[in-house]
Structure formats: structure tokens, C-alpha cells
Chain A
Amino acid sequence: MVSDDGADGTGGADGYTAREMMVSAAAREIEDGDVAFVGMRLPLIAFQVAVSTHAPNAMSVFESGVVRDDPADGFLHTMCDLPNLDRAVSTTGMLDVMGRLARGDIDVGFLGGAEIDRYGNLNTTRVHAGEREIRLPGSGGACDIACMSDRTVILMAHEPRRFVERVEYVTSPGHGDGGDWREEQSVPGGGPSALVTSKATFGFDGGELYLRTVHPGEDADAVAADFPWDLRTREDVTGDPMGETPEPTDEVLSLVREFDPDGFWTGE
């Protein structure tokens, strides 16, 4: 299956899959009281986990118009599946929810991508495999979320081909070419604050990606070697030693398995 969140579902340590680890790490990026623009796949489950654990006052909005304050009572293949509409707080339209985004009312938005570059710019429009140009599905709401959320969290499979010095097509702007680029370009919203892959989590400093924590069992040098530039680490940026991403708790794992009982999104 080709999925734009990119999780390949492999590489998990004992007891949980790589995608379950990603959901756990992504859920921690949602703070209590946040309004989250959730989108699809792993972020959708991450919201359901967050609101069931540390963020009971978080809200989710979906570009189709759904506004929810709790997990759906049933598995979701898409945001428009009936369990997501049933017992929602509101089912409205796109101009309404995108208008909230445009006014700056969305705290955190979630994104995936086929390619990411040094400054968190994302491409989901077209890539090259050798000489062949491959057409991807496009932006959907990703460009809007990337432009206008207060902060964004990116989820991607950890595959070296996805990490490029400069994306071929900027579907969703990150920090442009670093520094104050967003401000100079009048791009509203704060841009990417974190990247979660199947091997590590990353932050942004001066708009540039750096390695923040590695998942249990992963090696920081090996992770850094997957990037085509000299990737900075938490130690370089903050002086703190490289940390390890906390493992998903039993509570989080049981919630993920409740929300995705067949492992459609989070299985191996």
C-alpha cells in the first residue's frame, strides 16, 4: 500500500509496531486545550489517543467540516466515515473550518509527505524515480494546514529517499530556506515544530531540522547518516545530550488497538 503518511510499518521494537510508536510520539505533540487540524491516517489516531489521555480538552477539526471532541465510536478509514460524523460536535463545511485556520485559530496541524527537506518543506505532488516522473495525489488540505496552523507536526516513514536537500515541488511550505523566511514571505502560521519518523523525532531550530530523540533500539549516528546533509542533533542545538523517545505506555497501546483493532493503519 502506498500511504502518504509514509509509515512503512516495519522496524518496531518488541511489543509494538513502528507505526504505534509514531502514533504515541505524535499524540504527545497535542497539548490539552489544543484545537488540532487532524487530517487522515496516523494523526487521526494520535488525536483519539491524546484526547483519551493527557489532552481531554483538545478539539479536532477536519477539512470536510467535522468538529469532534472525542474518539469516534468505530474504526475510521477516512474522516468522512459515519462513526466520525455520528456524535460529532458539529458537521459543517470547508469554508467554516478553513476560515478558522485562516484566522489563526488552529493550534496544531498534522501533515505527511513523500519528501521532506532540510527546512521542513514537503512534497506530495510529484517526485522522480530515476528518469521517470511519478505523479502523486497532490495537496488536499496539506498546503493550507502547513501555511496557516500555529505549528505543524509532520509524520513520515523513515526512508532515506524521502529526505532530500531540497524538495522537487513545495506542496506544503515549511520554513522555506530557513531563518525568518516565513515572515519575509508573509506566510502566516508558525511552520513545522516537529517531525516524527519510524526511527526518531526531530525538532526545528532556525527553521532547520535537527535530531531530537531516537526511538528505543535506534542509533543516532545511523539515523543522521540517512540525511544527505550534515544533520544537527539536540546536543548541537541545546547542549543537552541526545535522548530516547519514550516507549508507548500500555495505556496508549491499548487505546491505539481499540481505535485501530485490525491494525489497518498501525499494524506491521
Chain B
Amino acid sequence: MPADKTTSMAEAISRIEPGSTVAAGLALEHAIPFAAGHELARQGTDDLTLVGPISDVLFDQLVGAGLVSHVRAAWTGNVSAGSGYNFRRAVEAGDLSVENHSNFSVALSLHAAALGVPYLPTRSLLGSDIAEEPQFRIAEDPFEGERVVQVPAIAPDWAFVHVQRAAPTGDAHLWGNTGVTYEAVRAAEHVLVTAEEVVDLEVIKSDPSRTRITREQVDAVVEAPFGAHPSPVAGRYNRDNEYFLKYADATRDADGFDAWADEWVYGVDGREEYREKVERDLSVQEPTAAAEVTYGQ
């Protein structure tokens, strides 16, 4: 029997050591692992390096909670409301170092690690001040002689991935846009899968083309319904736009963030209690089903 990797969120997060590099928010605004992030805050796992393209407000919340020393990202803020005020405050106060990336350079960094190579070249970033930052090298392509930017591999200690359904083994189905999810899973030393639903392995094996994460890549599986709120999850629930606007208003100063976090992070003991606090109905009203897929032998 393959190992059962299911565990509680608290136990899974207790495995992440302070000082770790954590990749999260890998499908851009879709399926962001907020539940896992909030448990990091409750456990006070600090000195983190965060990696991701665009995390919407998850990175801002972890910065506000005082957990983050370094951010390696393309964009950090509040997608529909503008700034992430904790991020802005921390950078401006000199409390947070930032390695500026583009989305593609984050993708290439993770892909390089996933392929086991030290860097990948790109013609993006050329002519920008991002390319001049110390993490990159501008080099000559040895074949054609043109300039390229060498993007170094990033191998996170942990990747957090939120999916629609996973088996206890760690084999997981996910659908919708995936951003850099697969690259991060393959690049990371350890993977935490949080799932809307834990299902029998037979469900996963009924549609293998939808299985994009397999067990040998996964360390822990946590059933976390509503685990990506306020971000959307295809087929499950919509983005909670009001949340993002209220968050922006509430966190314009540090005291405002602390009060917000006392209510929404430290004041709840887990996702079930959190879910009861969200009064808006975000459920998918008109689910559209894919045409049936058949396999055979």
C-alpha cells in the first residue's frame, strides 16, 4: 500500500522550519494557499524567503505578520485594489529585502531547478533595470553571439499548492490556469498539497491526464475546503472581491493590519472557524461540466 500522507494543517505546517524558502501563489490569482499561509502566521514560522510570481495579498499578509526576511517575486501587492501596504511599509523601512523579477524570470528560475541546471538563458529582461540586479548575469550567447540574460535556478525548500482534489497518496488533480505550479512542484525539496477534497485514489486514476502532481513529489496532504479563499478555485468558489477591497482599506497603517490579523488569522483556530466568518456566498452558481473523457484498453 502506498503511504497515506494526509495530516492536519497544524502538523503539516509544523514541519516548515524558520528560515525556509517557501514558494506559494503559483497559479497567480487562482487557488492561492491562504489557509496554509495563515497557519504559518499562527505558528510564527519566521525568517522566511517567499518565492512566487504574483501572490495577490498572501505575501503582504505574511510580511505584515513579521515572518518574512526576503521576497523573490515579480509583483507584490493587492491585484484589484493596488498596493500591498505591509509590503510597501516593510521595504521603505528597510526591514525587507526584495529580489525583483519578472513573471517569466520566476518561471525560468523554478524551471531551471526542476531541470537540475544552474540557470536558463532568456532574451526577456534585456534593457531593463531588472536585468542589472545582482541575481542575474548578462552574457553572450555562445552560438549566435547575441546578448542573453542568465536566470539562476531557484529550488525552494517548500512549495505550497492548493488543488481541487488529491488522493491520500499525494497524487492530485488540478485544473484551471496553473501559472508556474508544475515548475515549482518539481523545483521544490518538499511539497505541501492542500486540497478542497481528499478522494479515493481510484478517482484520481479515472482521469490520469488531469493528474499533474504525483505522490513521489509530495510530502503532506491536507484536506482544506475553502483553503484558497479569498482567491477563486475553478469549479468550487469565486474570488471574494469585497475582501480584497476591505483588506486594502483596513491595512493602510500597521495598527490596521494588526487588528485585521487579530480577527482573521490569530482569532480563528483553523479554516472551519474561518469559513463561518465569511458571510458572502461565493459558491459557483452555474457549474459548467466538461465533455466526458474516456480512456480504454
Contacts and interface: CB of A to CB of B under 8 A. Distances in A.
A86 B73 CA distance: 28
A182 B123 CA distance: 12
Contacts of B54: 140
Interface in B208-225: none
B83 A138 contact: no
B147 A81 contact: no
B169 to A, nearest CB: 23
Interface in A96-129: 98, 101-102, 125
Interface residues of A, number: 56
B176 to A, nearest CB: 5
A186 B75 contact: no
Contacts of A79: 28-29, 177
A264 to B, nearest CB: 8
Given A81-B239, A93-B182, A169 B129 contact: yes
A143 B124 contact: yes
Nearest to B123: A188
B204 interface: no
Interface string B152-179: 0000000000000000000000011111
B95 to A, nearest CB: 12
Contacts of B56: 78
B146 to A, nearest CB: 5
Contact of B29 (A78, A147, A172, A176): A78
A147 B127 contact: yes
Interface centre among A81, A101, A132, A133 (most CB of B within 10 A): A81
Given A4-B82, A81-B239, A185 B126 contact: yes
B30 A85 contact: yes
A140 B75 CA distance: 5
Interface stretch (A60-68, A230-238, A250-258): A60-68
B102 A144 contact: yes
A124 to B, nearest CB: 8
A171 B126 contact: no
Contacts of A2: 81-83
B234 A187 contact: no
A146 to B, nearest CB: 8
Given A62-B177, A80-B177, A91-B177, A98 B104 contact: yes
B271 interface: no
A127 B27 CA distance: 28
Given A65-B179, A80-B177, A140 B284 contact: no
Contact of B177 (A93, A134, A186): A93
A65 B128 contact: no
A173 B124 CA distance: 10
Interface in A139-179: 139-144, 146-148, 169-173, 176
A135 B85 CA distance: 10
Given A82-B284, A133-B92, A185 B147 contact: yes
Contact of B74 (A95, A139, A188): A139
A96 B128 CA distance: 23
A186 B126 contact: yes
Contacts of B177: 62, 64-66, 79-80, 85, 91-93
A98 B111 CA distance: 13
Interface centre among B73, B74, B105, B231 (most CB of A within 10 A): B74
B179 A138 contact: no
B228 to A, nearest CB: 11
Interface in B48-103: 53-54, 56, 73-77, 79-84, 87-88, 91-92, 98, 100-103
A137 interface: yes
Interface centre among A40, A98, A101 (most CB of B within 10 A): A98
B87 A147 contact: no
8 contacts: A78-B56, A81-B238, A91-B177, A125-B100, A138-B73, A140-B103, A171-B129, A186-B146
